[in-house]
Amino acid sequence: MGAIGNAEAVRQPVDVPPQVVNPGNPVVAARSDVPRAELAPHDVARIVATEIDDLDSAIAEYESHGEPDRAADLRHEKDVLERYR
């Protein structure tokens, strides 16, 4: 799930200068070889619960706009996430 992957991403401090990959080439790359952040089980549970709440809101919105097919798709996604709550 993307939200968990995003939560594991390590933020690069703004004071770290970019790394020049090839001095003859103006392309600059950010430093990316850092370990992912480790999430505790309660962090993952919180992320899943937030995603479920967001899906509930989106389902209600799609239903109110007369889009039952899209609401059904989101309901399916929610059912999958509920297994991990």
pLDDT along the chain (85 residues), means of 10: 83 61 57 77 95 97 98 97 91
List, as one string, the DSSP characters of 41-83.
HHHHHHHHHHHHHHHHHHHHHHHHTT-HHHHHHHHHHHHHHHT
| pLDDT on residue 27 | 58
Q: What span, in angstroms and rounded, lies between the C-alpha atoms of 40 and 27?
A: 37
Residue 59: Cβ-neighbour burial (10 angstroms; 0-12, 13-18, 19+): buried
